[in-house]
Each structure stands twice: as structure tokens, then as C-alpha cells.
Amino acid sequence: MSFQPDHDLHKRRLGRNLGLGLSLIAFVVIVFGITIVKVSDQPRPWAKKAQPATSVSSGASATVSGPAAGTKP
């Protein structure tokens, strides 16, 4: 038993399905990429709390306390 070669119709259909599939994958990647960029560009409200708060310890030297810059409280 031997397989018959694909008709041109089936080749076209395969090409169309592959093209559509790749386009959808590309679309998902683009939406994901835009989301990452937009989220990264958003101002981070907790950054305000990262202002270096100085506290005077004994003596003249100042030490920094509070959360490190960019970290969640």
C-alpha cells in the first residue's frame, strides 16, 4: 500500500494553516512583549518609600535605614 502524493489543495491548506498558526504565535509574543514593557515603565508607588531615610546615630555619622530602593515594603 502506498500513499498518494498530496493534492495541491492540501499543500495550500497546510501552508495556510501554518501561516495562520505562526501569525497567532507572533501576535501572542507581541502582546506579551508590550505588556512587559508597559508594566516595566509604570511608576512604582512603593519607590516613594525607598527614599533614603536618615537617622542620626550616636556620634556625627548618619546611617541609612528603611527598605532598599525598588524593593517592596
- Asked if 44 interacts with other proteins (CB under 8 A), we say no
Residue choice 25, 28, 30, 53 for contact with other proteins (CB under 8 A): 30
Contact between 28 and other proteins by CB under 8 A: the answer reads no
Residue 18 in the binding site for other proteins (CB under 8 A): yes
Q: Dihedral angle at the C-alpha atoms of 35, 16, 13, 9, nearest 10 degrees?
A: 180
- Report in angstroms how near the CB of residue 50 gets to other proteins at its nearest: 23
Name the site residues for other proteins (rule: CB under 8 A). 7, 9-13, 15-16, 18-20, 30-31, 33-34, 37-38, 41
